[in-house]
Structure 1
Amino acid sequence: MYTYTVFFHSFFRWLVLISLLMAIGSSIHGLITARSYSKTDKFLRIAVNTICHTQLIIGLVLYFALSPITGFFIKNGAGGNGEIRFFGMYHLAMMLSSIVVATIGSALSKRAVSDSQKFKTIAIWFSFALILILSAIPWFRPLFRNL
Protein backbone atom coordinates (compact mmCIF):
# COMPACT_ATOMS: atom_id res chain seq x y z
CA MET A 1 0.00 0.00 0.00
CA TYR A 2 2.81 2.39 0.89
CA THR A 3 4.54 1.89 -2.47
CA TYR A 4 1.39 2.62 -4.46
CA THR A 5 0.53 5.67 -2.39
CA VAL A 6 4.04 7.10 -2.82
CA PHE A 7 3.72 6.48 -6.56
CA PHE A 8 0.42 8.40 -6.75
CA HIS A 9 1.81 11.18 -4.57
CA SER A 10 4.80 11.46 -6.92
CA PHE A 11 2.53 11.40 -9.98
CA PHE A 12 0.20 14.08 -8.58
CA ARG A 13 3.21 16.32 -7.88
CA TRP A 14 3.54 16.83 -11.62
CA LEU A 15 -0.17 17.52 -12.03
CA VAL A 16 0.05 20.16 -9.30
CA LEU A 17 3.03 21.86 -10.93
CA ILE A 18 1.60 21.73 -14.46
CA SER A 19 -1.84 22.98 -13.41
CA LEU A 20 -0.35 25.84 -11.40
CA LEU A 21 1.89 26.86 -14.29
CA MET A 22 -1.05 26.74 -16.70
CA ALA A 23 -3.25 28.87 -14.42
CA ILE A 24 -0.46 31.38 -13.76
CA GLY A 25 0.37 31.60 -17.47
CA SER A 26 -3.27 32.03 -18.42
CA SER A 27 -3.71 34.76 -15.80
CA ILE A 28 -0.61 36.65 -16.91
CA HIS A 29 -1.75 36.37 -20.52
CA GLY A 30 -5.20 37.61 -19.49
CA LEU A 31 -3.66 40.61 -17.73
CA ILE A 32 -1.41 41.50 -20.64
CA THR A 33 -4.07 41.16 -23.32
CA ALA A 34 -6.90 42.55 -21.13
CA ARG A 35 -9.18 39.73 -22.22
CA SER A 36 -12.31 38.60 -20.44
CA TYR A 37 -12.18 36.00 -17.69
CA SER A 38 -13.51 32.89 -19.43
CA LYS A 39 -14.98 29.54 -18.48
CA THR A 40 -11.57 28.04 -19.25
CA ASP A 41 -9.95 30.34 -16.70
CA LYS A 42 -12.57 29.36 -14.13
CA PHE A 43 -12.00 25.69 -14.95
CA LEU A 44 -8.22 26.11 -14.50
CA ARG A 45 -8.73 27.77 -11.10
CA ILE A 46 -11.02 24.97 -9.95
CA ALA A 47 -8.74 22.28 -11.42
CA VAL A 48 -5.72 23.68 -9.56
CA ASN A 49 -7.59 23.53 -6.26
CA THR A 50 -8.97 20.07 -6.92
CA ILE A 51 -5.57 18.68 -7.86
CA CYS A 52 -3.86 20.41 -4.92
CA HIS A 53 -6.42 19.13 -2.43
CA THR A 54 -6.20 15.60 -3.86
CA GLN A 55 -2.43 15.78 -3.44
CA LEU A 56 -2.94 17.01 0.12
CA ILE A 57 -5.17 14.05 0.98
CA ILE A 58 -2.68 11.58 -0.49
CA GLY A 59 0.13 13.30 1.42
CA LEU A 60 -1.76 13.26 4.72
CA VAL A 61 -2.49 9.53 4.31
CA LEU A 62 1.22 8.98 3.72
CA TYR A 63 2.22 11.20 6.63
CA PHE A 64 -0.10 9.86 9.31
CA ALA A 65 -0.77 6.27 8.24
CA LEU A 66 1.77 4.76 5.86
CA SER A 67 5.19 6.39 5.78
CA PRO A 68 7.85 4.73 7.90
CA ILE A 69 9.85 7.98 7.82
CA THR A 70 7.14 10.18 9.29
CA GLY A 71 6.02 7.35 11.58
CA PHE A 72 9.52 7.32 13.04
CA PHE A 73 9.48 11.13 13.29
CA ILE A 74 6.14 11.19 15.13
CA LYS A 75 7.36 8.62 17.67
CA ASN A 76 11.02 9.63 18.07
CA GLY A 77 11.67 13.03 16.51
CA ALA A 78 14.30 13.64 13.88
CA GLY A 79 17.22 12.35 15.89
CA GLY A 80 19.65 14.48 13.89
CA ASN A 81 18.65 12.89 10.58
CA GLY A 82 18.09 15.54 7.89
CA GLU A 83 15.78 13.45 5.72
CA ILE A 84 13.54 12.58 8.65
CA ARG A 85 13.45 16.22 9.74
CA PHE A 86 12.67 17.32 6.15
CA PHE A 87 9.65 15.02 5.81
CA GLY A 88 8.58 15.26 9.44
CA MET A 89 8.49 19.05 9.65
CA TYR A 90 9.56 21.10 6.66
CA HIS A 91 7.76 19.29 3.84
CA LEU A 92 4.50 19.08 5.76
CA ALA A 93 4.53 22.73 6.91
CA MET A 94 5.46 24.16 3.51
CA MET A 95 3.01 22.03 1.55
CA LEU A 96 0.15 22.78 3.92
CA SER A 97 1.03 26.47 3.64
CA SER A 98 1.06 26.29 -0.15
CA ILE A 99 -2.38 24.66 -0.25
CA VAL A 100 -3.74 27.35 2.08
CA VAL A 101 -2.23 30.09 -0.11
CA ALA A 102 -3.66 28.57 -3.31
CA THR A 103 -7.08 28.13 -1.71
CA ILE A 104 -7.14 31.71 -0.44
CA GLY A 105 -6.07 32.96 -3.88
CA SER A 106 -8.81 30.95 -5.54
CA ALA A 107 -11.46 32.24 -3.13
CA LEU A 108 -10.31 35.85 -3.52
CA SER A 109 -10.29 35.63 -7.31
CA LYS A 110 -13.75 34.10 -7.27
CA ARG A 111 -15.01 37.13 -5.34
CA ALA A 112 -13.13 39.70 -7.43
CA VAL A 113 -15.34 42.07 -9.36
CA SER A 114 -13.36 42.80 -12.52
CA ASP A 115 -11.65 40.37 -14.86
CA SER A 116 -8.28 42.06 -14.37
CA GLN A 117 -8.63 41.67 -10.58
CA LYS A 118 -9.38 37.96 -11.03
CA PHE A 119 -6.32 37.46 -13.25
CA LYS A 120 -4.07 39.50 -10.96
CA THR A 121 -5.24 37.66 -7.84
CA ILE A 122 -4.69 34.24 -9.41
CA ALA A 123 -1.28 35.23 -10.81
CA ILE A 124 -0.03 36.53 -7.45
CA TRP A 125 -1.45 33.92 -5.07
CA PHE A 126 -0.82 30.89 -7.29
CA SER A 127 2.75 32.10 -7.97
CA PHE A 128 3.37 32.35 -4.24
CA ALA A 129 1.92 28.85 -3.76
CA LEU A 130 4.17 27.56 -6.55
CA ILE A 131 7.25 29.07 -4.90
CA LEU A 132 6.35 27.39 -1.61
CA ILE A 133 5.84 24.06 -3.37
CA LEU A 134 9.10 24.28 -5.30
CA SER A 135 10.97 25.06 -2.08
CA ALA A 136 9.50 21.99 -0.35
CA ILE A 137 9.77 19.34 -3.07
CA PRO A 138 12.29 16.69 -2.06
CA TRP A 139 14.67 17.30 -4.96
CA PHE A 140 17.12 14.81 -3.43
CA ARG A 141 14.64 12.02 -4.24
CA PRO A 142 13.92 10.62 -7.73
CA LEU A 143 11.79 13.01 -9.77
CA PHE A 144 9.29 10.26 -10.49
CA ARG A 145 8.95 7.45 -7.97
CA ASN A 146 8.13 4.18 -9.66
CA LEU A 147 6.41 1.10 -8.37
Structure 2
Amino acid sequence: MNYSSLLTIHSWFRWAVLISLIITIGRAWFGRRNKLTFTTFDNKLRHMTATICHIQLMLGFWLYFISPIVTYFLNNFGEAVHLREIRFFGMEHITVMIFAILVITIGSMKAKRKHADREKFNTIYVWYSIGLLLILSSIPWSFLPLTSRPLLRVF
Protein backbone atom coordinates (compact mmCIF):
# COMPACT_ATOMS: atom_id res chain seq x y z
CA MET A 1 0.00 0.00 0.00
CA ASN A 2 1.35 3.41 -0.86
CA TYR A 3 1.83 6.33 1.52
CA SER A 4 -1.11 8.37 0.24
CA SER A 5 -3.62 5.52 0.54
CA LEU A 6 -2.42 4.56 4.00
CA LEU A 7 -2.57 8.20 5.14
CA THR A 8 -6.17 8.42 3.92
CA ILE A 9 -7.16 5.20 5.71
CA HIS A 10 -5.46 6.38 8.92
CA SER A 11 -7.22 9.74 8.64
CA TRP A 12 -10.65 8.16 8.11
CA PHE A 13 -10.15 5.54 10.82
CA ARG A 14 -9.63 8.26 13.43
CA TRP A 15 -13.36 8.85 13.25
CA ALA A 16 -14.03 5.23 14.23
CA VAL A 17 -11.68 5.72 17.19
CA LEU A 18 -13.34 8.96 18.30
CA ILE A 19 -16.91 7.70 17.82
CA SER A 20 -16.27 4.41 19.62
CA LEU A 21 -14.55 6.19 22.52
CA ILE A 22 -17.36 8.72 22.88
CA ILE A 23 -20.02 5.98 22.81
CA THR A 24 -18.13 3.81 25.30
CA ILE A 25 -17.40 6.72 27.66
CA GLY A 26 -21.03 7.84 27.42
CA ARG A 27 -22.28 4.34 28.17
CA ALA A 28 -19.86 4.04 31.11
CA TRP A 29 -20.97 7.41 32.51
CA PHE A 30 -24.63 6.48 32.13
CA GLY A 31 -24.03 3.03 33.64
CA ARG A 32 -22.22 4.29 36.72
CA ARG A 33 -24.62 7.20 37.22
CA ASN A 34 -27.72 4.99 37.02
CA LYS A 35 -26.17 1.95 38.76
CA LEU A 36 -26.79 -0.30 35.77
CA THR A 37 -25.69 -3.89 35.42
CA PHE A 38 -22.51 -4.30 33.37
CA THR A 39 -23.83 -6.47 30.54
CA THR A 40 -22.25 -8.56 27.81
CA PHE A 41 -22.94 -5.62 25.49
CA ASP A 42 -20.92 -3.31 27.75
CA ASN A 43 -18.05 -5.78 27.80
CA LYS A 44 -18.12 -6.12 24.01
CA LEU A 45 -18.19 -2.34 23.68
CA ARG A 46 -15.16 -2.06 25.99
CA HIS A 47 -13.28 -4.66 23.99
CA MET A 48 -14.33 -3.37 20.55
CA THR A 49 -13.27 0.19 21.39
CA ALA A 50 -9.85 -0.95 22.62
CA THR A 51 -9.46 -3.07 19.47
CA ILE A 52 -10.35 -0.14 17.19
CA CYS A 53 -7.73 1.95 19.00
CA HIS A 54 -5.13 -0.81 18.55
CA ILE A 55 -5.88 -1.09 14.82
CA GLN A 56 -5.44 2.67 14.46
CA LEU A 57 -2.14 2.46 16.33
CA MET A 58 -0.91 -0.27 13.98
CA LEU A 59 -1.94 1.82 10.96
CA GLY A 60 -0.09 4.74 12.55
CA PHE A 61 3.07 2.68 13.07
CA TRP A 62 2.96 1.50 9.48
CA LEU A 63 2.46 5.07 8.30
CA TYR A 64 5.24 6.33 10.56
CA PHE A 65 7.82 4.07 8.96
CA ILE A 66 6.96 5.04 5.37
CA SER A 67 6.23 8.74 5.89
CA PRO A 68 8.54 11.16 4.06
CA ILE A 69 8.03 13.65 6.91
CA VAL A 70 9.24 11.15 9.49
CA THR A 71 12.10 10.03 7.25
CA TYR A 72 13.23 13.65 7.03
CA PHE A 73 12.82 14.02 10.81
CA LEU A 74 14.91 10.93 11.57
CA ASN A 75 17.62 11.73 9.02
CA ASN A 76 17.92 15.41 10.00
CA PHE A 77 17.02 15.31 13.68
CA GLY A 78 19.15 18.29 14.76
CA GLU A 79 17.48 20.60 12.28
CA ALA A 80 14.05 18.93 12.11
CA VAL A 81 13.42 19.08 15.86
CA HIS A 82 13.23 22.88 15.52
CA LEU A 83 10.60 22.72 12.74
CA ARG A 84 7.17 22.58 14.39
CA GLU A 85 5.27 20.50 11.80
CA ILE A 86 8.13 18.06 11.25
CA ARG A 87 8.65 17.64 15.01
CA PHE A 88 4.92 17.16 15.57
CA PHE A 89 4.69 14.21 13.18
CA GLY A 90 8.17 12.85 13.86
CA MET A 91 7.99 12.87 17.63
CA GLU A 92 5.02 14.47 19.40
CA HIS A 93 2.08 12.84 17.60
CA ILE A 94 3.37 9.29 17.85
CA THR A 95 4.50 9.66 21.47
CA VAL A 96 1.18 11.03 22.73
CA MET A 97 -0.82 8.50 20.69
CA ILE A 98 1.19 5.54 22.01
CA PHE A 99 0.65 6.82 25.53
CA ALA A 100 -3.10 7.34 24.87
CA ILE A 101 -3.55 3.79 23.56
CA LEU A 102 -1.55 2.49 26.52
CA VAL A 103 -3.91 4.32 28.90
CA ILE A 104 -6.96 2.90 27.10
CA THR A 105 -5.47 -0.61 27.14
CA ILE A 106 -4.72 -0.42 30.87
CA GLY A 107 -8.24 0.85 31.49
CA SER A 108 -9.71 -1.98 29.46
CA MET A 109 -7.67 -4.58 31.34
CA LYS A 110 -8.50 -3.07 34.73
CA ALA A 111 -12.22 -2.92 33.93
CA LYS A 112 -12.19 -6.53 32.78
CA ARG A 113 -10.81 -7.61 36.16
CA LYS A 114 -13.22 -5.62 38.33
CA HIS A 115 -16.05 -7.50 39.99
CA ALA A 116 -18.64 -4.82 40.78
CA ASP A 117 -20.59 -3.31 37.90
CA ARG A 118 -20.12 0.26 39.13
CA GLU A 119 -16.34 -0.30 39.39
CA LYS A 120 -16.26 -1.57 35.80
CA PHE A 121 -18.18 1.43 34.49
CA ASN A 122 -16.11 3.84 36.57
CA THR A 123 -12.81 2.33 35.42
CA ILE A 124 -13.81 2.56 31.77
CA TYR A 125 -15.11 6.08 32.24
CA VAL A 126 -11.92 7.39 33.85
CA TRP A 127 -9.27 5.60 31.78
CA TYR A 128 -10.99 5.92 28.40
CA SER A 129 -11.70 9.62 29.08
CA ILE A 130 -8.02 10.27 29.79
CA GLY A 131 -7.12 8.38 26.61
CA LEU A 132 -9.64 10.40 24.60
CA LEU A 133 -8.29 13.70 25.93
CA LEU A 134 -4.75 12.66 24.98
CA ILE A 135 -5.92 11.66 21.50
CA LEU A 136 -7.84 14.90 21.00
CA SER A 137 -4.75 16.88 22.01
CA SER A 138 -2.57 15.23 19.39
CA ILE A 139 -4.78 14.96 16.30
CA PRO A 140 -3.60 17.35 13.56
CA TRP A 141 -6.94 19.16 13.37
CA SER A 142 -7.78 21.30 10.34
CA PHE A 143 -8.09 24.42 12.54
CA LEU A 144 -4.51 24.16 13.87
CA PRO A 145 -2.26 26.53 11.92
CA LEU A 146 1.02 24.59 12.05
CA THR A 147 -0.13 20.98 11.81
CA SER A 148 -3.34 21.47 9.87
CA ARG A 149 -4.67 18.44 8.02
CA PRO A 150 -8.09 17.95 6.40
CA LEU A 151 -10.86 16.44 8.49
CA LEU A 152 -11.69 14.01 5.68
CA ARG A 153 -9.12 13.00 3.10
CA VAL A 154 -10.06 11.87 -0.38
CA PHE A 155 -8.45 8.80 -1.96
The TM-score range, normalised by the shorter chain, is over 0.9
Aligned residue for 2:53, secondary structure, equals helix
Identify the residue that residue 75 of structure 1 maps to in structure 2.
Answer: 75
Report how many aligned residue pairs link the two structures. 146
Identify the residue that residue 108 of structure 1 maps to in structure 2.
Answer: 110
RMSD: 0.8
Distance in 2, Cα, partners of 1:144 & 1:58 = 16
Identify the residue that residue 144 of structure 1 maps to in structure 2.
Answer: 152
| 1:79 CA displacement | 5.1
Identity of aligned residues (%): 47
CA deviation profile, 1:46-89 (whole Å, cap 9, x unmatched): 1111100100110000101x210011111112153211000011
Identify the residue that residue 90 of structure 2 maps to in structure 1.
Answer: 88
Identify the residue that residue 14 of structure 2 maps to in structure 1.
Answer: 13
Identify the residue that residue 29 of structure 2 maps to in structure 1.
Answer: 28
Distance in 1, Cα, partners of 2:153 & 2:138 = 16
CA deviation profile, 1:81-105 (whole Å, cap 9, x unmatched): 2110000111011000000000000
Aligned residue for 2:154, secondary structure, equals coil
Distance in 2, Cα, partners of 1:146 & 1:40 = 34
1:120-135 to structure 2, matched below 5 A, reads 120-135=122-137
Structure 1: stretches of 5+ with no match in the other structure: none
Identify the residue that residue 39 of structure 1 maps to in structure 2.
Answer: 40
Q: TM-score, normalised by structure 2?
A: 0.92
Distance in 2, Cα, partners of 1:46 & 1:9 = 20
Q: TM-score, normalised by structure 1?
A: 0.97
Distance in 1, Cα, partners of 2:95 & 2:64 = 12
Distance in 2, Cα, partners of 1:41 & 1:126 = 14
